[in-house]
Amino acid sequence: MLNTGSWAGKVEAEQAVNPLNDGAMGTATETEGSTAVDSPTPVVWEKPIHGEITLNSDGSLTSTKAGIGGVFRNHQGQATLAYSSSNNSSSILFLETMAILTGLDITLKQGHKCLLLQVDSLQAHKIIQGLQQPTWRVKSIVTKIKDLMSELC
């Protein structure tokens, strides 16, 4: 499931409330494309139903570093698995979509079929949902994401 609306699951985009930090909010601004968030929109972290898992994935980019990562949580909100990797990309959209793709790949390799995917990139969400065209950098990644998501309930 993808969450920022709903899809074969759900995807959380916009401003995600950090469940481990007493409601602290981050700020989401897309730099590649035309999406900008002017004011925070709180989105409460949602536990998956019993038998599902949640994946919170993220890409990160600073002036000197880039990386991807994600955390899997069970229906009680307990972290069960995490992943991270450095990357050389200078595109936050590339990093966000690679974080999603990596998490989906891990999900299926672990034998899970029901997933609540939460991301903080509204642009990545819109592209995956088919509401916005992907940039050339992420077109093949988005195709792979959609293929993997078709294997989920």
Whole-model pTM? 0.76
Residues 6+ apart with CB under 8 A from 128: 2, 7, 11, 97, 100, 142, 145, 146, 149
Distance from the first to the final alpha carbon of the chain: 7
Cα–chain center distance at 81: 15
Which residue matches tokens 């536990």?
A: 47
pLDDT, position 22:
35
Rounded Cα gap, residues 111 and 88, in angstroms: 30
In CATH, what class is 2-149? alpha beta
For residues 128 and 119, the answer to whether their CB atoms sit within 8 Å is no
In a structure prediction context, what are the per-residue pLDDT tens digits for the chain, which is 153 residues long?
Answer: 555 433 333 444 433 333 333 333 343 444 444 445 567 777 677 788 888 999 999 999 999 999 999 999 999 999 999 999 999 999 999 999 999 999 999 999 999 999 999 999 999 999 999 999 999 999 999 999 999 999 998
Quote the pLDDT of residue 11. Answer: 42
